[in-house]
Structure 1
Amino acid sequence: MVSKICGIGAGYVGGCTLSVIAYHCPKIQVTVVDISENVIDQWNSDILPIYEPGLEDIVKAVRGKNLFFSTDIDKAIDEAELIFISVDTPTKKYGIGQGRAPNMANLEAAARKVANVSRSPKVVVEKSTVPIKASETIASILNSAARANGWNRSSDGDAKSSGLQRSVVLSNPEFLAEGTAVENLMHPDRILIGGDEASDCGRLAIEMLRSIYLHWVDAGRILVMSTWSSELSKLAANAFLAQRISSINAISAICEKTGADIRDVARAIGSDSRIGPHFLKASLGFGGSCFRKDILNLVYISECLNLNEVASYWYSVLQMNEFQHSRFCRQIISKFNNTLTGKRIAIFGFSFKADTHDTRESQAILVCNSLLEERAIVAIYDPKALPHQIRTDLLSLQHADVVDKQVVVCSTALEAVKGAYAIVICTEWEEFKM
């Protein structure tokens, strides 16, 4: 049913997802495109632009056979029947919704590119995390261009065996955890497909996407629903996971004041079958590019719907996360009688979690910044985080002269601890465990 797929966006989600699809669907040509020549060059090299366990083997197995990485965006779009859009939707930094709403500029630009290049109807799949009803915006862009180009049919009619009568937008959110993304893709808990089951074109588009996943996913794990439900489910899932982290961290603060052991409490809570053991480990708090952004998106949606109590509830999850970080930093500083000037502190781990090089929204950034404010010397070691990225992250919060004088990026853990007054473990890499 589908012979060619195009994936717009060769980042973390697009690169991993399309590589696994190509691996399981050898008869489908999969082309991942991006405007960055550097990123595409890395995907075509021996050193991939992202680190993810198992990804390198999958890419090498199918690259050049039915998986291709290219900057020829127009050709890939024109030839494909189905197009995944996996572009960044960061939180807006300006205008209405600043600091809460997602910036849809990249998504809309991708949709307009598809609209301008396409000479036939396409199935466009939202992989990017988007607010509710984003699919309507994309559909409007596609169908306006189709009418202008003269090949749009406004009526569904009967879906022809040769393809669609009009372009269709589906929601197919990703549920990847960095560090286990390949495992998540190979053995997903569920696949969500959001679309319009009431129309012939909608049903055909859903079946086209569903047929791809059926190559390796059990039919019972593929859940079909409305587009809006699918879009909201992604935000809700991340909000619930972040909520659990903030909840156990809140309990950990009580434990420290009372002498209770958070590990015992977490074990007791997790033994309840209604709750389960996942995401019940007290920590510095959550980081990464998704949780904070998606909760802010949910807060903004709630505010726009005049659900202020709902907005406050979800915002409190972020406030608890910030409290946990601040509390941790205060404890470190107090251990040295509030005097850290010139003292070397070893930082183990800078990525936001183990088994990834991704440092976005890492709690280690905030810990290092607090220590730098106290004029400590920070010696950082992470097995995968890139030295230039560590420096860039710290420069976003500190002046260059502070970073130059007080930050040492080390190539080994032993180098980091040499002369250190303390070791702060910010990321649970396996090599740091006793």
Structure 2
Amino acid sequence: MTIQRICCMGAGYVGGPTMAVIADRCLDVQVTVVDLNEQRIAAWNDADLSRLPVYEPGLDAVVDRARGRNLHFSTDVDGAIADADMVFISVNTPTKARGLGAGQASDLRWVEACARQVAKSARGHTIVVEKSTLPVRTAEAIRTILEAAQAPLAEGEAPRTFAVLSNPEFLAEGTAIRDLETPDRVLIGGEDDSSIDALAGVYGQWVPGERILRTNLWSSELSKLTANAFLAQRISSINSVAALCENTGADVREVARAIGTDSRIGPKFLQSGPGFGGSCFQKDILNLVYLCRHFGLPEVADYWESVVHLNTWQQHRISRLVVQRLFGTVTGKRLAILGFAFKADTNDTREAPAIRIAHDLLEEGAQLAIHDPKVESAQISRDLRQDAEVPDAGTGMTAKTLSGQGAWWAAGSVEQAVAGADAVLILTEWTQYRTLDWKDLSARMRRPAWVFDARAVADPNQVRAAGLTLWRVGDGAQ
């Protein structure tokens, strides 16, 4: 079976970039990305490529080449499904907020809604591909819904048939385009060989055959959760060692380098910091925890849950440390937060460490000037569940400063953020924060002034030479 038309349900962080690269590399395949969110589709179709709803280095160039040729963005969901040989389901699967499994299990309402819409609108034979991160055995539910709709719609019409595949994404935000163009592996899980061959044929137009792995459905679904759990576990592990380093005189970077040269361990994901964030790590681990408890494996569940607990502890530890070092109180004090995205080269703030740290400091009555080169003020408001204040141009104070209540505002530049500040917190490893002029910034701050470098990106010698007191994650020498 040769795939000629692809429909992707969901125009978010996974669906948009993935389909853009498929269209860019497969000129003979018409790719349509659909979403019910009219504003999001309009942004994907905007002539100004800087307004794309997803920021990823290189994405604008890929979209520019393919859009209007064989890459299309539309709100006509039913029409795109009816025309498609293959439908990708790439919608959000957040952690349930209430009900059975609340706080751990995935909320699959949108996945089920997609399956039902495919069942209603598909024509002929359709391959349905799970792209969203899903719990093991979700394909069974999708297949049950689709099988109930396989009868012909009208007399003389060919019967509708379906095959279900699992094709999890392994993208890292900030490098998504590179990960799609030169993937470590493409994983396809399924039970129908012809359907697996069809999807492998799409990827095979640019991915070497030895990197296209074939498994059964359940192995594919579980592999995504397991991959993220293992990566998150490494981050929590090195952050636990960082805390020990700070109390023993060791340097976590030296420890990481020493253990990373061991070929059995390797150097990746051994950078200590304020903890992991993003849309996947915490959600997928909690999903794994829920599955383990569901299948009667409480000890396994407790092990993976401890990875999340330590990540949360690391973020609270940093905010507590800031309060302690600033003479036990930050009430009314101005603190500059540099970086709000969960990592550099993305505007994604989902589960960003900065959110929890900023919440803690606001609870303590701090006045936060937040700078991030890609995250908009409206997004910060939503994440902090608090509207921005407008500081007085003369005094730099807000209406809440003297009341003891915490407040925040968006700073247009690093210089604006640090003006009159008692401390700077670096929470995202943006490249521009690596080359800051600390002598100039120091002159703008109130003394004594601190730099809390949770990403270890600032030059320690330059910071100290500027007369600033430095705390750097995992540095016991301080």
Q: Secondary structure at the match of 1:83?
A: strand
Q: Give the TM-score normalised by structure 2.
A: 0.85
Q: Percent of pairs identical after alignment?
A: 52
What's the counterpart of residue 127 of structure 2? 123
Aligned-residue offset at 1:166: 2.6
Match runs of 1:395-406 below 5 Å:
395=385, 406=407
**Structure 1 residue runs without a partner (length 5+):** 154-162, 197-201
Counterpart position of 1:52? 56
Which whole-Å deviations, capped at 9, do the CAs of 1:16-54 have from their partners, x for residues lacking one?
A: 000000000011100000001100000000220111000
Q: What's the CA shift string for 1:364-418, capped at 9, x where partnerless?
A: 0111111111111100000000110011111179999979972110111111011
**Which structure has the highest helix share of the two?**
1
Pairing 1:134–2:138 present: yes
CA deviation vs aligned residue, 1:148-201 (integer Å, no higher than 9, x gap): 7479x9xxxxxxxxx9983000000000111000000000000000001xxxxx
Structure 1 residues 271 and 10: alpha-carbon distance in aligned structure 2, compared to 1, 3 A threshold: same
Specify the alignment match of 1:417 in structure 2. 418
| Aligned-residue CA RMSD (Å) | 2.0
* Structure 2 Cα separation of the partners of residues 39 and 320 of structure 1: 35
- Residues 171 and 179 in structure 2, CA contact (< 8 A), matched pair in contact too: yes
Deviations 1:338-388 (A, max 9, x none): 111111100000000000001111110111111111111100000000110
Aligned positions of 1:35-114 closer than 5 A = 35-45=36-46, 46=48, 47-114=51-118
Q: Runs of 4+ in structure 1 displaced over 6 angstroms?
A: 396-405
SS at match of 1:211: helix
- Mapped to 1, the partners of 2:400 and 2:12 lie a distance apart of 32
- SS for the counterpart of 1:107 is helix
Deviation track 1:50-97 (CA, whole Å, cap 9, x = no partner) reads 110000000011100000000011111000000111000000111111
Q: Secondary structure at the match of 1:292?
A: helix
CA contact (8 A) 2:388 2:410 kept: no
Aligned residue type for 1:66: N
User: Could you tell me which residue of structure 2 aligns to residue 158 of structure 1?
Assistant: none
Q: Which residue pairs with 1:14 in the alignment?
A: 15
CA drift at 1:336? 1.1
Shift of 1:323: 1.2
CA-CA distance at 1:119 after TM superposition: 2.3
Q: Does 1:339 align with 2:329?
A: yes
1:350 counterpart residue number: 340
Q: Secondary structure of the equivalent of 2:323?
A: helix
Letter in 1 for 2:272: A
Instruction: Indicate which of 121, 124, 149 corresponds to 1:145.
Output: 149
Report the equivalent of 2:34.
33
1:208 is aligned to 2:198 = yes
1:189 counterpart = 2:184 = yes
Number of residue pairs matched by the alignment: 419
Q: CA offset at residue 330 of structure 1?
A: 1.2
Letter in 2 for 1:320: L
Q: Which runs of 5+ in 2 are unaligned?
A: 391-398, 436-478
Shift of 1:216: 0.3
Q: 2:335 touches 2:421 (CA, 8 Å); kept in 1?
A: yes
CA distance in structure 2 between the partners assigned to 1:301 and 1:224 by the alignment: 23
Q: Which residue of 1 aligns with 2:265?
A: 275
The one-letter code matched in structure 2 to 1:181 is A
Name the aligned partner's letter for residue 247 of structure 2.
Answer: K
State the partner residue of 2:173. 178
Match of 1:254 in 2: 244
State whether residues 183 and 207 of structure 2, in contact with CA within 8 Å, keep that contact through their aligned partners in structure 1.
yes
Taking a change above 3 Å as real, the CA distance of residues 93 and 422 of structure 1, as seen in their structure-2 partners, is same
Indicate if the aligned counterparts of 1:122 and 1:164 stay in contact, CA closer than 8 A: no
Residue 167 (structure 1) aligns with? 162
CA distance in 1, matches of 2:107, 2:378: 26
Determine the C-alpha separation between the residues in 1 that align with 2:264 and 2:283: 28
TM-score for the superposition, normalised by structure 1: 0.93
SS in 1 for 2:214: strand
Distance (Å, rounded) in 2 between the aligned partners of 1:170 and 1:192: 10
1:121 Cα deviation from its structure 2 partner:
2.0
| 8 Å contact kept, 1:132–1:228 | yes
